[in-house]
Amino acid sequence: MPRVNGNARNVILDEALLMFSEKGFKPTSMRDIAAAVGMRAPSLYNHFKGKQELFDALIERETTYIEEVLHASGAMALPGDDPSAYCSDEPNAVEDLVWRSYAPFFTDARIGSLHRMLAISRFKDERCNTLFRQIFIDRPIALQKAIFTRLVDAGSFAPCDAGLAAAEFHGPLFMLMDTEADPRDAETFCRRHTAAFNETHRKGSAS
């Protein structure tokens, strides 16, 4: 997994992410993390008061990273972002943009580690379960809902339940994320899925 350049705090968070993604949050101790970093356990507490504080800092860092990666690709990262680019009349441009919205979830090692960390702990830790849903289910659906709402308002899509359409769109892609599908297969599916969705929902469609 790529490491974040910087101070001891980032080194600790890098090792914690790796260990949490392999062993889970609860089974990993501060002593385990200290050993992986190469420091004595008491020294670790100079940076974080405890495992929960370390975990919270890791989540803040990684969710910010996801937002930065998506924004850098020109994709929406927050429900309040402008969805206008998704309203292009050029099908290939829309397919490209939608794939850029999902590609990091299949290609970025850090995001993959975050996914595994929360996935393996979600049924044993309610906080991990909540975060898993927020990051990999609820936020992407909220983004898609904003996009579909704009498409309907612009007259590009026929009137529809934007929330339901968003869930229907994200569902199959989430399943591919959850099974860690090959990025090439994910891209092929994402483009076909986007084209089919546009064909179904665009205004004037025979359906």
Going by pLDDT thresholds of 50, 70 and 90, the confidence category of residue 148 is very high
Tell how far CA 80 is from the center of its chain.
16
Q: Enter the tokens of residue 149.
A: 């709402």
How far is it, in rounded angstroms, from Cα 81 to Cα 76?
6
Mean pLDDT across the chain: 93
Instruction: Collapse the DSSP code of 202 into the 3-class scheme (helix H, G, I; strand E, B; otherwise coil) and give the result.
Output: strand
Going by pLDDT thresholds of 50, 70 and 90, the confidence category of residue 204 is low
User: Does residue 202 have a pLDDT over 90?
Assistant: no
Digit-coded pLDDT (tens) for 72-105: 999 999 999 999 999 888 889 999 999 999 999 9
| Pair 134, 66: CB distance under 8 Å | no
Give me Rg for the CA atoms of the chain: 19
Write down the pTM of the prediction: 0.91
Mean pLDDT of all residues in 5-11 = 81
Instruction: Collapse the DSSP code of 157 into the 3-class scheme (helix H, G, I; strand E, B; otherwise coil) and give the result.
Output: strand
User: Does residue 38 have a pLDDT over 80?
Assistant: yes
Dihedrals φ, ψ of 182, to 5°? -60, 130
Going by pLDDT thresholds of 50, 70 and 90, the confidence category of residue 53 is very high
The rounded percent of the chain whose pLDDT value lies above 70 is 95
User: Does residue 176 have a pLDDT over 80?
Assistant: yes
Residue 88's pLDDT is: 87
User: Does residue 3 have a pLDDT over 60?
Assistant: no
Residue 121's pLDDT is: 94
Mean pLDDT of all residues in 10-15 = 94
How far is it, in rounded angstroms, from Cα 48 to Cα 62?
17
Residue 7's pLDDT is: 85
